[in-house]
């Protein structure tokens, strides 16, 4: 029967609404949902490829078990029995410190995973927890945690109302935005200008986002922190600081003036490559704009001073009076959360990594040190690794070394829809269903959204395999010692009951004192993820409170509104979310102040690198996920090294020639793309490429493999406050063809 299904695209943080036309039980067409009040019909080229991903013949439909070096199909029973046997043996021989888990970025884009991954991590009982956050946004969590008390107290730019946006290390024209959920982010940027506002982009490349901006300011890779602190220094020196409405909620203003004082525009100019007058102009514009927001993303985070830069972004938002006000940087409140945050102030370093002593952050260790933990013998050596929806063999630093380390593990399990560069090392691969076989709700990105919006996505097709939620519950049962045959319904039911009981025993909860059995019965007969979701929504600040507010939000209400519900623009709420020890915004957290001498020392050095490597985001890629989709891989070669014409001429590199790019950790060969859109002294290679390894089964990706830029990045180089890998600003050499 023909039908239309509306759902949210799970392929990036923009969360666009899709209209999916199904004919004869196959997708005929996917287009933007014009009636979705948040995305209003916008989609990018990736959004329509959910069909190709679902139908991809390379997508795994049965579990695989590795025998004699190659994978064979297996039943689910066989696969879980083998996992239970090997898990038990390794724990018995070496203890739980021999276990590790890596959680990839797609986990936050799926309801099943956001609900199922935490219990799995907890059940493992190990400190060896690694995620994609430490090759991405961990600096933002740390700076938010230290300033505002909670790592998810992340302010987002109020794109639709701001008069001035200063954007660093972000390219929403390709990425569609990150840590700021906004469908049609590019359109929202253009509207800033069309309503008379101003967009300033700071980036080593003249990206598409920079090209449409009022001003592009090229910056030396890895130096955003210096530029941002120089802006703050100018604001203090010229007495342009204004906390506006939240002065009573902030502490440390004098200390801020003191710590930024050495970072004058002149002092940082050689380091950043930005002339002092430009810095002063931007500082004055920021201060003078009726409203303004500073927004930094991956280019500011994946560098040696990522946390300092991330803090400096919000320090600027604060001292220009733009924090927590319309048009400035505001704090979203996801519908499934209570109206205010509770809990203890954020801490890091509760434990340290065994080999290099890196501090724990957010319950995890830097993925840059995963290879160390696998390769280094001794008590606590990682012998069993579970990977859920991740491809660290391509996406984490010094990945050539990590690949060898994965092969040396005693046992590895991968939950993944593909036999890719990482899962090919797994002893057991458990296939995750396609996005169209799942229901969905964005628990993560509703907390980063520039408008208050909720939408639920039903399954488009019945799953033919095992739901990922059940896969995760079964792994959790094995980790808890319940064996491969444990009843997943029993475990899921017990954990749902635990959440209900916690709610009814909380005197501040809307269901305080009510009968848990009654609450459970009101959740009806649904799959477990939907029951959890309904519970969270009804207990959240917009929820119906199980009858307390009959007009309030519930899953049923979202089902009755298939295009989603727009609750309007963000509202000031800083006073509700601060959970610092003092109850105030800590403008200068001591941990961050203690890292400033390291930055000053760097600034004092004369740069001597010939070329610095940076990454590159591409519209038709999403990390390494989508390279097996033919329609996205068409066209000219995208995995190129971009180089400025002056550098190319100096090095004898012609456009299109294959060149060798080498760093301290490795080398790759790929075509050169000579373009004036990249600064002198900088080269750029896109990330997520390097397919076609023997043993992988991704036919389309293997035909256009590209090179893995993480062969060039260094596993020993991290931002010390967050543990985030340094993936930008890597010293490299480029060698022309005759010398290759």
Cβ closest to ligand SF4, residue 65 vs residue 212? 212
Q: Which stretch binds ligand SF4 (CB under 6 A): 5-13, 55-63, 335-343, 494-502?
A: 5-13
Other CB atoms within a 10 A radius of the CB of residue 211 amount to 12
Closest listed residue to residue 140, CA positions, set 313, 330, 317, 350: 313
- Answer yes or no whether residue 11 interacts with ligand SF4 by CB under 6 A: yes
Q: Which stretch binds ligand SF4 (CB under 6 A): 40-48, 370-378, 459-467, 628-636?
A: 40-48
Q: Which stretch binds ligand SF4 (CB under 6 A): 44-52, 104-112, 227-235, 495-503?
A: 44-52
Q: Which of residues 595-614 bind ligand SF4 (CB under 6 A)?
A: none
Cβ closest to ligand SF4, residue 40 vs residue 504? 40
User: Which helix H or strand E contains 499, and what residues bound it?
Assistant: helix 488-504
Q: How many helices (H) and strands (E) does the chain have?
A: 27, 26
Q: In which residue are the tokens 């600096």 written?
A: 139
Cβ closest to ligand SF4, residue 130 vs residue 445? 445
Q: Which of 5, 7, 16, 302 binds ligand SF4 (CB under 6 A)?
A: 16
Q: In which residue are the tokens 């939950």 written?
A: 415
Select the residue whose beta carbon is closest to ligand SF4 and give its number.
47
How far is the CA of 411 from the CAs of 67, 68, 339, 428, 513, in angstroms? Answer: 12, 14, 44, 8, 47
Other CB atoms within a 10 A radius of the CB of residue 350 amount to 10
Closest listed residue to residue 301, CA positions, set 722, 596, 684: 722
Cα separation, 333 vs 540, in Å, equals: 10
Q: Which of 6, 47, 136, 545 binds ligand SF4 (CB under 6 A)?
A: 47
- Answer yes or no whether residue 46 interacts with ligand SF4 by CB under 6 A: yes
- Answer yes or no whether residue 43 interacts with ligand SF4 by CB under 6 A: yes
For the chain, the 3-state helix, strand and coil shares in percent, each to the nearest 5, are 35, 15, 45
User: Which helix H or strand E contains 129, and what residues bound it?
Assistant: strand 129-131
Cβ closest to ligand SF4, residue 151 vs residue 564? 564
Q: Which of 5, 6, 14, 286 binds ligand SF4 (CB under 6 A)?
A: 14
Cβ closest to ligand SF4, residue 53 vs residue 144? 53
User: What is the smallest separation between the CB atom of 109 and ligand SF4, expressed in angstroms?
Assistant: 9
- Answer yes or no whether residue 15 interacts with ligand SF4 by CB under 6 A: yes
Cβ closest to ligand SF4, residue 11 vs residue 268? 11
Q: Which stretch binds ligand SF4 (CB under 6 A): 13-21, 164-172, 351-359, 522-530?
A: 13-21
Q: Which stretch binds ligand SF4 (CB under 6 A): 8-16, 274-282, 521-529, 634-642?
A: 8-16
Q: Which of residues 133-192 bind ligand SF4 (CB under 6 A)?
A: 176, 183
Cα separation, 169 vs 160, in Å, equals: 20
User: What is the smallest separation between the CB atom of 6 and ligand SF4, expressed in angstroms?
Assistant: 13
**CB 609, CB 731: distance < 8 Å:** yes
CA angle 327, 330, 331 (to 5 degrees): 160
- Answer yes or no whether residue 27 interacts with ligand SF4 by CB under 6 A: no
Q: Three-state DSSP class for 73?
A: strand
- Answer yes or no whether residue 12 interacts with ligand SF4 by CB under 6 A: yes
User: Which helix H or strand E contains 500, and what residues bound it?
Assistant: helix 488-504
Closest listed residue to residue 480, CA positions, set 163, 214, 210, 84: 84
- Answer yes or no whether residue 44 interacts with ligand SF4 by CB under 6 A: yes
How far is the CA of 232 from the CAs of 321, 324, 608, in angstroms? Answer: 13, 18, 27
Positions that interact with ligand SF4 (CB under 6 A): 9, 11-12, 14-16, 43-44, 46-47, 176, 183
């Amino acid at each position: 029967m023909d039908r239309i299904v509306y759902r949210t695209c799970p392929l990036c943080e923009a969360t666009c609404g899709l209209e999916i036309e199904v004919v004869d039980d196959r997708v005929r067409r996917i287009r933007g949902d014009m009636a979705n009040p948040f995305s209003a019909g916008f989609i990018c080229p990736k959004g329509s490829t959910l069909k190709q991903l679902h139908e991809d013949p390379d997508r795994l439909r049965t579990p695989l078990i590795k025998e004699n070096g190659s994978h064979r199909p297996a039943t689910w029973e066989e696969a879980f029995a083998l996992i239970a046997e090997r898990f038990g043996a390794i724990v018995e021989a070496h203890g739980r410190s021999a276990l590790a888990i890596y959680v990839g970025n797609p986990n936050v884009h799926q309801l099943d995973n956001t609900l199922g991954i935490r219990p799995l991590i907890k059940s493992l009982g190990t400190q060896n927890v690694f995620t994609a956050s430490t090759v991405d946004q961990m600096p933002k969590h740390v700076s938010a945690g230290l300033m505002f008390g909670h790592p998810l107290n992340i302010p987002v730019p109020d794109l639709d109302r701001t008069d001035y946006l200063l954007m660093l290390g972000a390219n929403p024209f390709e990425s569609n935005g990150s840590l700021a959920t906004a469908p049609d982010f590019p359109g929202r940027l253009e509207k800033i200008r069309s309503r008379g506002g101003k967009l300033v982009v700071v980036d080593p490349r003249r990206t598409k986002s920079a090209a449409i901006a009022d001003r592009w300011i090229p910056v030396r890779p890895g130096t955003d922190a210096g530029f941002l602190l120089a802006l703050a220094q100018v604001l203090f020196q010229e007495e342009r600081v204004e906390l506006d409405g939240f002065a009573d909620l902030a502490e440390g203003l004098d200390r801020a003036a003191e710590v930024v004082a050495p970072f004058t525009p002149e002092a940082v100019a050689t380091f950043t490559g930005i002339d002092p007058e430009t810095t002063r102009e931007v500082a004055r514009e920021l201060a003078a704009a009726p409203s303004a927001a500073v927004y930094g993303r991956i280019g500011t985070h994946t560098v040696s001073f990522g946390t300092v830069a991330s803090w400096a972004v919000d320090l600027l938002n604060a001292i220009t009076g733009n924090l927590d006000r319309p048009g400035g940087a505001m704090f979203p409140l996801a519908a499934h959360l209570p109206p205010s945050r509770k809990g203890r102030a954020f801490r890091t370093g509760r434990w340290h990594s065994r080999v290099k002593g890196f501090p724990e952050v957010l319950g995890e260790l830097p993925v840059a040190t995963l290879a160390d933990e696998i390769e280094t013998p001794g008590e606590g050596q990682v012998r069993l690794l579970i990977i859920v929806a991740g491809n660290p063999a391509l996406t984490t630093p010094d990945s050539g070394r990590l690949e060898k380390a994965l092969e040396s593990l005693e046992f590895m399990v991968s939950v993944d829809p593909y036999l890719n560069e990482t899962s090919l090392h797994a002893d057991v691969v458990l296939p995750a269903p396609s996005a169209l076989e799942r229901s969905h709700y964005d628990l993560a990105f509703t907390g980063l959204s520039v408008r208050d919006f909720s939408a639920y996505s039903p399954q488009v097709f019945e799953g033919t395999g095992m739901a990922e939620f059940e896969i995760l519950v079964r792994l959790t049962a094995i980790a808890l010692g319940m064996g491969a045959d444990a009843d997943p319904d029993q475990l899921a039911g017990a954990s749902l009951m635990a959440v209900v009981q916690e709610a009814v025993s909380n005197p501040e909860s809307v269901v305080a004192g009510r009968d848990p059995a009654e609450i459970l019965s009101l959740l009806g007969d649904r799959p477990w993820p939907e029951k959890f979701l309904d519970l969270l929504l009804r207990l959240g600040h917009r929820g119906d409170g199980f009858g307390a507010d009959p007009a309030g939000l519930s899953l049923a209400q979202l089902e009755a509104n298939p295009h989603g519900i727009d609750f309007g623009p963000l509202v000031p709420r800083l006073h509700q979310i601060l959970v610092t020890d003092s109850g105030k915004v800590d403008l200068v957290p001591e941990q961050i102040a203690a890292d400033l001498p390291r930055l000053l020392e760097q600034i004092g050095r004369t740069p001597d690198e010939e070329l610095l490597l940076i990454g590159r985001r591409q519209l038709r890629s999403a990390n390494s996920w989508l390279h097996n989709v033919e329609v996205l891989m068409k066209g000219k070669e995208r995995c190129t090294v971009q180089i400025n014409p002056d550098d190319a001429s100096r090095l004898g590199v012609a456009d299109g020639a294959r060149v060798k790019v080498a760093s301290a950790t490795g080398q790759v060969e790929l075509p050169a793309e000579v373009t004036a859109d990249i600064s002198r002294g900088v080269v750029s290679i896109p990330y997520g490429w390097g397919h076609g390894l023997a043993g992988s089964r991704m036919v389309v990706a293997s035909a256009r493999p590209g090179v893995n830029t993480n062969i060039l990045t260094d596993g020993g180089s991290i931002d010390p406050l967050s543990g985030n890998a340094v993936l930008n600003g890597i010293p490299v050499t480029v060698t022309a063809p005759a010398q290759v």
